[in-house]
Amino acid sequence: MRGLFITATDTGAGKTFVAAIIARTLREQGARVRVCKPVATGAEELSEDTRILAEAAGDGAYAAITPFVFAAPAAPPVAARLAGSALRLDALADAVRRRAAPRALLVVEGVGGLLCPLTERETVADLAAALGLPLVVVARRSLGTLNHTLLTLEVAFSRRLPVAGVVVNETTPVQGPAEETNVEELRRRIGVPLLAVVPHQPDGVPRLCPETSAVDWRRLAEGGDREPNRGAAVYPS
């Protein structure tokens, strides 16, 4: 497979928002795009995240984009258990692989962060490892961004997951010294590319913006910069 795995520092950082922008940008860059969010919780049939991703990719195969949907707004294994079901890592990975197509790039969105429970035993990081796609880490621009991002990268590096880079997403307007300075502080510390800063969009619509359009997502999805640049601040050599 060729593509990107979109993860985040925590829930609410804007994975779907950024994944949709990446899918739209790839299409603008001339690529054929498919999307997949293998599991969604807190939805009866169609997840809003699935709808947003499908619209961004121009792909209406909702059931294939998100084959595992559970009503309870909880971690996937808990939501599955409450529905009398259970998730298996191999089934989730196979569902993603079925979305791959010749000459298409696949944008995969995880759930929660890398250590979010995914099955009764495995986490999102285990799914990322099984798929082998470069990670794009979405970080919410807020107080705590530095810690959350460095912890996420520490997990990725310790598991030898390839990291394409970090996208900082302004879920709210920037205010205060922490938010005003954390982007440059991240650049100094993360040891991987800080790919883009997505400006706050009050209506919540994932539109193309100059910051993300300047990134060569196609090159990253096709395998460019697959190996993490292990910065000393987060991955001592």
Catalytic residues: 37
Angle CA(194)–CA(129)–CA(68) in degrees, nearest 5? 100
Structure tokens at 127: 């799914």
Positive or negative CA dihedral for 219, 220, 221, 222? positive
Helices 48-57 and 15-28: angle between axes, nearest 10 degrees = 10
Place of tokens 């997840």: 47
d(CA 198, CA 222): 23
